């Protein structure tokens, strides 16, 4: 085989854009991905806690509004002789929905986070 027929070393070298990343570059990418995941987890926990607090505040506000409505209905009923048979259905629906949202958020908070 003559010198011209043999492959040269340069014919086996990949162009730079086609080369796979070096181990050090992969480690840097992994570290960056972990840092991003940890920051995301912290943000989700903060937002989740705020959502749970908001749901709890909404539930308390609904309870207070329901009590105020009942007291007002009682005062109005006493002056007019009218006695309502049950509480305000819209307020009951609101309270029930607030309770369901709070329960859902609590279940979400207990889910394990995948890293």
Question: pTM for the complete prediction?
Answer: 0.44
Judge whether 49 lies within some domain: yes
Q: How far apart are CA 100 and CA 106, in angstroms?
A: 10
Check whether 81 has a pLDDT greater than 70.
no
Judge whether 51 lies within some domain: yes
Check whether 51 has a pLDDT greater than 70.
yes
Judge whether 63 lies within some domain: yes
Judge whether 78 lies within some domain: yes
Q: What share of the chain is helix, strand, coil (3-state, %, to 5)?
A: 75, 0, 25
Average pLDDT over residues 57-63: 89
Judge whether 13 lies within some domain: no
Residues 9-50: pLDDT tens digits?
A: 777 888 888 888 999 999 999 999 999 999 999 999 999 999
Confidence of residue 3 (pLDDT cuts 50, 70, 90): low
- Report the 10 Å Cβ neighbour count for 38: 12
Judge whether 100 lies within some domain: yes
Q: How far apart are CA 62 and CA 51, in angstroms?
A: 16
Q: 77: domain range?
A: 20-109
Average pLDDT over residues 52-67: 89
């Amino acid at each position: 085989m003559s010198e011209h027929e043999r492959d040269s070393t340069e014919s086996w070298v990949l162009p730079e854009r086609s080369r796979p990343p070096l181990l050090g570059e992969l480690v840097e990418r992994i570290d960056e991905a972990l840092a991003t995941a940890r920051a995301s987890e912290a943000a989700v926990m903060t937002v989740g806690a705020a959502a749970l607090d908001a749901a709890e505040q909404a539930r308390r506000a609904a309870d207070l509004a329901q009590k105020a409505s009942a007291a007002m209905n009682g005062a109005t009923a006493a002056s007019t002789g009218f006695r309502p048979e049950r509480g305000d259905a819209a307020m009951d629906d609101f309270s029930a929905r607030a309770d369901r949202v709070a329960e859902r958020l609590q279940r979400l908070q207990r889910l394990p986070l995948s890293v």
